Every structure is written in C-alpha cells, then in structure tokens.
Amino acid sequence: MHSSSIATPPRSDPASAELVDHARQLPIDGLIRACREETERYLRGERHADVYGLELFKRAVTGDRQAWDGLVAQYRPLVLAYLRRHPAWTSRGQADDEYWVTRTFQRFVMAVKPDRLPWFPTLSSLLAYLKLCSHSVLLDEVRAADASRLASLEEVPEAPTISAEVAHEVLDELSPRTLWDAVAAELRGGTERVVARLSWVRSMKPVEIYSRHPEMFDSVADVYRVKRTVLGRLRRSGRVTEILG
C-alpha cells in the first residue's frame, strides 16, 4: 500500500444509503478488500466514498476480531511510515518496529470507543487520529527516559496575568523536585494532577495530553485552560513566593 503523505486530503463523495447498506452487509473478507481499494484511492488523492473504511473501523472497535486483525494488517505500513517520519524516531531506544506499531493501535483503540465514532465522520479523520496516536506513543517513550526533567513553561500560551519573568524565575530558581512539590500543593482535583504531571514531568504538550486522555477533556483548548489555571495559581502561591524569596 502506498503510504506517502498528502498535504490536502482528497474529497470524499457523499455516500448513498445503498452504498452504506452494501458496506454493512459485506462479509469481512470482502470488506477488507473494498477498504484496501478505497484507502489506496485516498492515498493517491482520488475521490472516494469512505464507506468501506468507516465500516471496517466500526467493526474493529466494536469487538470484531477479524475486522481488527484486518485493520491492523492494512494500516500497519502507514503507521510505520508515520513513526519513521517523526523526528523522535531516532531516539526511540531498542524496541523493534512491531512494538511501536502495536503500541499505536493500542492507544487508538483505548481512545476511540464505539460511542466516539461519530467524532470521526471520514476516513481522513480516522487516519489523522491514528497518526496522532503514533506520535504520542513515540514521544511518551522518549520522554519517559528523562522523566525528571521539567518542561519549559515558555511553551505554554500564558494567560494575561502570567508574566514571562515569573516563568523564568520558576525554572531558574527552583530545583525540579522543589518545583514539583510547590505545584503539587496547589493542584485541585484529578484533572489538574493529570495535566501537571504530564506537562511538567513527562514534557507532554496539550495536544498530546488530549490524545492520551480524551475522556477527561472537551478539547485541546480545555487542556490549555486547565494548564493556565494551574500556572496562574502557582504564580499567586504564597509558598512559591516564599521559596523565591
């Protein structure tokens, strides 16, 4: 299967009720073949109807083992291409290709439950999320090797009340352990703990946090909101003020 990237996804044609019904009634072998042909048209930038890919993904995430095996076999080369094109691929450690592909599909199926399929109305949207999952598992592993390093607060879009000087002070004057203790003391609830831990211990960006825990947030913007809230509270913290002198 050709796995080159496409700058602008090709247009998918509206599927007729008859075509959708045909996809639903296909036996798994026929569906896999139809999905392969449809995906190849998508990757070549040709018009396509999406119905066979959507149906295969639907069966796969609702527990059809044959559909899942067919899905993994069909999109494994594409996932591997996503992984190999990422800059972090060269820092991945000793695990083989199969490990990374398996982790990607595990991340995908943990996040995309049957009731969330309406969030992905096209083959393009499903493949884009599969790509995001591949990058997320790669970054998770690479960053876990340096879990004690805190992420730069400069990467966070700051609220108007949070100055760049305060961010620099926090990074420059506090040791990682002291900073984490100060942050942890200000956290309220599990959502803030998840955002803080993944942001400043695992060095994950909001889009990666959302990919990892879509059940906890409405959107990537929601992750940014929580992160800004914690930063604002840290700035006002008497404990941090005392540590900074």
How confident is residue 179, by pLDDT bands cut at 50, 70 and 90?
A: low
pLDDT digits (tens, 9 = 90+) for 7-49: 344 444 555 678 888 889 899 999 999 999 988 888 888 887 7
Average pLDDT, the chain: 76
Average pLDDT on 43-70 reads 89
How confident is residue 167, by pLDDT bands cut at 50, 70 and 90?
A: very low
Judged against a pLDDT cut of 70, whether residue 134 lies above it is answered with yes
Judged against a pLDDT cut of 60, whether residue 111 lies above it is answered with yes
pLDDT value of position 49: 78
Judged against a pLDDT cut of 80, whether residue 171 lies above it is answered with no
Burial tier of 204 (Cβ tally within 10 Å: 0-12, 13-18, 19+): buried
Cα-based distances in Å from 52 to 6, 49, 58, 160, 211: 20, 8, 10, 48, 25
Distance, in Å, from the CA atom of 28 to the CA atom of 64, rounded to the nearest integer, reads 9
Helix 51-61 / helix 28-43 crossing angle, nearest 10 deg: 130
